[in-house]
Structure formats: C-alpha cells, structure tokens
Amino acid sequence: MKTIKRISAVLFAVILVAIMAAPAFAADHKGAIKVTDVTPEKTYNIYRVFDMTADVDDTDPANPVVNGVFYTVNADWADFFTTGAGAAYLVNSDSTNTLPITVFNSATKYINITDDNVAEFAQAAQEYVLSKPVTATATQDAPVAGTVPMEVNFTNLDLGYYLVYPYGATQLKGINASICALTSTNLTQEIAAKSEYPTIEKTVGAGETDGSYDIGDELEFTIKGVVPDTTGYTTYIYKISDEMSEGLEFDTTSLTITVGSTTLTDTDLEEKTVSATGFSFKIADIGSYDVGDEITVTYSAVITSNALRERPANEAAMESNNAQLTYSRDPSISGETGTDNSTPVEVDIYTGTIQINKVDSEAAGATKLQGAQFVLKKGEGTNVKYYKQDPTTKAVTWVDSKDDATVAISSTDGVALFEGIADGTYQIEEIAPPTGYNKLSADVTVTVDSKGAGHNVTVEQPIVNKKGFELPGTGGIGTTIFYTLGAILVLGAGILLISKRKMSSKANG
C-alpha cells in the first residue's frame, strides 16, 4: 500500500489535464475543462502549471491544425521547478526527440513528463500545492445532489497544462485512477474526477442497511472506511462518531477497532468517549498506516423497551443509529476548523406490533369484545415456538411450550397486543373466547412487514367471535328440563282427552 501512496495522486484526486491547441498567439482562443463524476457541493480547484502557446495553421478555422506548442513555467510554479521536486522533470537533453521544449531560468529545457512518470509528477505537484499553498487559477463548486449532469465546468481558460484538484479529497477509486493525461489536440477537455472524499459505510447483522428485530435482541453493527492519504498534513484528524436513539442501548464493552490487520487499543486513539447512547474516537497518527487499508469498527447494542414509546403520528416506529466521519480537508488549517463532515450514514431498526381487534361481527360499528385470550406462535410442525414477553423489560423470547407463553387478553376496547416482534409470518391462536361466544376453530395468520412500504409496524388484525352456547356436561341441568316439559305436555293432553270424553257422554245421555 505504500507503493500506492508513492505512485498515485491520491490526495485531492490530482488530475493532470493538457489544454492545448489553438491558433498561434491568438488571445481570443480559450480553453475549457469539463470535470464529470464530481461529488455534490464539493469545491474543485485548477492550477495552471505550464503556460502554453501554439503554432496553428487556421486556414480552415473550423479545423485548425496544430504544428507545434511551446511551454513556459507558470510564475506560481517557479520554485517547484527550481529547488522543488519539479526540477527532476526539466532535463537538459532529449534523446527521444519527443519531449516538449521550454525556456526556464534563461536555459533551454525539455519537459520530461511521460506516461511512465506522470503519476509521480502529479504526486509531487499536489504536495507542492499543499505546502505552498499555491493560488488556484480557478475554483468551482459542484452542484447539489440530484443535479443532472453532475459536473463542473471551467471555461475561458488560458491554454496550458493544468492540475485539477478536488479540494479535501483523500481517497482513491483505483491505483492510478486520479491521473488523466490528455492529448494536445482539443481546446475543450473532459475528465472524470475519479478520486473520492473520505466516507464511511454502516451495516447491521449480515451486511444489511436496515433491519427488523425482537425487543431484547442484541444487534451487531459494523462501520467501514479506509485510511486516507495524508500527504502534506502535519496532523490529520480522522474521527468517527456514532449516536443511537433511545430504543437502542450500546454495549460499551463491545467496541472493536481495526486498521488493516491491526486491532487498536486505547493508546492508539484520541478523545475516546463511550456512553449508553454511543461513542466517538479519533485514530491517532493515522498517517502511519498504509493508504487504502480498511478501517473496521464493530460493536453491539440491544433493543430495549424504549422502542415501544409513543411517537408522533407521522413518525415510523423505528430506532435510528447514525454514524459520521470528521476528516481534515486543508493542511494549512489546524484543528477542527480545518475539517469537513461526511454525509451521516444511518441504519434503521424496526420492531413490530400485532394488534388484535376483537369484535362480534364484521359490520361497521361492531361490538368490542372483552376477555378473549390469545397466544402467538411461529413455525410449523415440531418447530413451533410461542411468544413470551418479560413483563418488566419487555424483552421477547420464543419458547417451546404453550403453557409458558404470554397470554394476551382483549381489554374493554377489544384490543389485545403482541408487541416488540421482528418481521415475519405468525399465527394467532385463541385459547379462550369471550363469555357467551364461540371459540375460533382455526388459527389466524398475520404477516408483519415493518420494513415494507409505509413502514407498517403495527398490524391491526380484526378477529370475529359469534354468539352461541355449549351443551352442558355431567352434573349440569342436562336434559332434565326437556323431560319435565314433555311430562307436563303429556299430562295436559291426558286431562284434555278425559274432559272431552266426559262431555261427550253427557251429550249422548
């Protein structure tokens, strides 16, 4: 990785651009640089290292022909080519007869910048920019996120050899991706700013950017970044901060930080703070590590009963875990004043609730039923598990026996709750109906999808019971009442029959 640092213009995504070719000594011919693949709202500077004039045949103005170019060292770069690292790139002879000519300090020199050494030259040039510092020839800010096209345009430029410098960038997308040596045949050049600003990524579990869990679950979080190139900096701030919402409790003993294969200890950190709601730390002397090495931060947190707190109607019931990187952006400004913050990265943690609405019919205005008893289960066959919630901590576990399960009972408003559960498919089993109603003959299946559209973390499930009665068993009134009523009817019929016979006999007599 030290080789990467040596051969690539990593710091500030240094890009060399040759803006050449124009009618000789014509002041009205200007150049332009289009920089694509830029980072929103970041600043891009350009520096003209060499001034240039061109010998151009413009008999056909629409198709000028470049016969040759001549360079002079820009005044801002005189020290760089006199006593600085640039002196090695101005040589006294050209055995290849391919190098551009310049006159510098009253001597004829050849500019020895080729495909083989342009990366090293860019590295030296960007170090000079940082140490001087050199005044930028032009400065442009990238547009806001979402703008199309995402590019920066430098126009009306004097011709020359330019250094394009994304202010504060210290990451790379490839070993030499920050270098782009262009031809000398166009007034307008287009390059891709392939270097990056320091960023971090954050995931939970097996690389997820959000998750759904039971209350009481312990979650594993990971933050990743890379070691930046700190060339030109006396000190470089690399600080990671993490803050959790109140439904997550950070395990202060779980924090582990590695750079490459090295696990850091407290002596390798500065300003380390930890609490139940998060942490922050600076990596001391980050420039001593290999550029591009991966920085990995791992830790754990538990979802607590605070995740069940009441929230505004427009707020999804989730817990957020935010991390942010603070990094140095200007070697000439010391301390926190010379830093920028990366865009915060957030991992959202959801926990769902099943709300049973117990009613006596499916019609609007149905009566709410109190006293129905339910258990919640998941799985199939021999793998069925039952929901159990600790009454104090609200932590959820899944047990094998229905006898150990938490029983949810519908209240006066007909509501029974199973709360603090992860996304998934569940079965509601009614173990006792309200008094005077029939028990459900089958389980009710419910799916919780808190991460889905609308973040529906509370699933309302209507469950209808019908009125009815059960036939009594041994020891009850049984069929006695039917026998009694039957005997009374038979007796009444006998009396009526006898009465009729008597009346008939009197009539015949």
pLDDT digits over 344-387, tens only? 999 999 988 999 999 988 888 889 999 999 999 999 888 999 99
Residue 61 confidence (pLDDT): 76
Residue 368 confidence (pLDDT): 93
Least confident span in 23-32, 124-133, 204-213, 498-507:
23-32
Q: Is 80 buried (19+), middle (13-18) or exposed (0-12) by CB count in 10 A?
A: buried
CB 96 within 8 A of CB 112: no
Q: What is the CATH number of domain 201-349?
A: 2.60.40.740
Over residues 256-271, the mean pLDDT reads 95
Instruction: For 383-398, give one letter per residue: b (16+ CB within 10 A) or e.
Output: eeebbbbeeeebbbeb
262: left (phi over 0), alpha (psi -120 to 50) or beta: beta
| pLDDT interval class at 23 (50, 70, 90) | very low
CB 24 within 8 A of CB 54: yes
Over residues 1-13, the mean pLDDT reads 38
Query: Structure pTM?
Result: 0.71
Distance CA 137, CA 158 (A): 10
Over residues 76-93, the mean pLDDT reads 94
Distance CA 220, CA 300 (A): 5
Q: What separation in angstroms does the CA of 364 have from each of 315, 367, 413, 441, 462?
A: 28, 9, 15, 23, 12
Sheet order of strands, 151-157 included: 151-157, 31-36, 188-192
Instruction: For 206-233, give one letter per residue: b (16+ CB within 10 A) or e.
Output: eeeebbbbbbbbebebbbebbbbbbbbb
Query: In the chain, helix, strand, coil percent, each to 5?
Result: 15, 40, 45
pLDDT at residue 333 greater than cutoff 90: no
Over residues 396-404, the mean pLDDT reads 96
CB atoms within 10 A of CB 501: 10
Residue 179 confidence (pLDDT): 33
Residue 496 confidence (pLDDT): 62
Over residues 434-446, the mean pLDDT reads 92
CB 113 within 8 A of CB 130: no
What value does the mean pLDDT of the chain take?
82
Over residues 103-122, the mean pLDDT reads 86
Q: Name the amino acid, one letter, at 107.
A: A
Kindly write down the DSSP assignment for every residue of 399-455, as one continuous string: ES-GGGSPPEE--TTSEEEEEEE-SEEEEEEEEEPPTTBPPPSS-EEEEEBTTSTT-
Over residues 10-29, the mean pLDDT reads 43
Least confident span in 84-88, 159-163, 251-255, 358-362:
159-163
Residue 55 confidence (pLDDT): 72
Q: What separation in angstroms does the CA of 174 have from each of 193, 230, 470?
A: 12, 17, 77
| pLDDT interval class at 25 (50, 70, 90) | very low
Q: Which residues pair with 281 in a beta bridge?
A: 240
Residue 14 confidence (pLDDT): 42
pLDDT at residue 504 greater than cutoff 70: no
Q: Is 31 buried (19+), middle (13-18) or exposed (0-12) by CB count in 10 A?
A: buried
Q: Is 162 buried (19+), middle (13-18) or exposed (0-12) by CB count in 10 A?
A: buried
Q: Which residue has the tokens 């050449």?
A: 20
* H or E stretch at 6: helix 2-7
CB atoms within 10 A of CB 301: 25
Over residues 142-150, the mean pLDDT reads 90
What number of CA atoms fall less than 13 Å from residue 172's CA on the CB side?
25
Q: Which residue has the tokens 């640039």?
A: 86
Q: Which residues pair with 398 in a beta bridge?
A: 387
CB 41 within 8 A of CB 186: no
* Distance between first and last Cα of the chain: 136
The fraction of the chain above a pLDDT of 70, given in percent, is: 78
Residue 383 confidence (pLDDT): 92
Instruction: Tell me phi and psi for residue 381, to 5 degrees.
Output: 55, -125
Q: Is 502 buried (19+), middle (13-18) or exposed (0-12) by CB count in 10 A?
A: exposed
Q: Name the amino acid, one letter, at 260.
A: G
Give 6 or 66, the one with higher predicted confidence: 66
Sorted by where each begins, the domain ranges of the chain are: 2-192, 201-349, 352-464
Residue 507 confidence (pLDDT): 54
For 158-199, list the strands marked E by DSSP. 160-166, 188-192
Q: What separation in angstroms does the CA of 355 have from each of 83, 136, 192, 347, 445?
A: 77, 63, 54, 26, 13
Distance CA 448, CA 381 (A): 21
Residue 20 confidence (pLDDT): 40
pLDDT at residue 416 greater than cutoff 80: yes
* H or E stretch at 123: helix 118-131
Sign of CA dihedral 177, 178, 181, 182: positive
Q: Which residues pair with 444 in a beta bridge?
A: 428
pLDDT at residue 475 greater than cutoff 80: no
Q: Which residue has the tokens 């500019």?
A: 111
CATH of 352-464, one of 2.60.40.10, 3.40.30.10, 3.40.50.10800, 2.40.50.100: 2.60.40.10
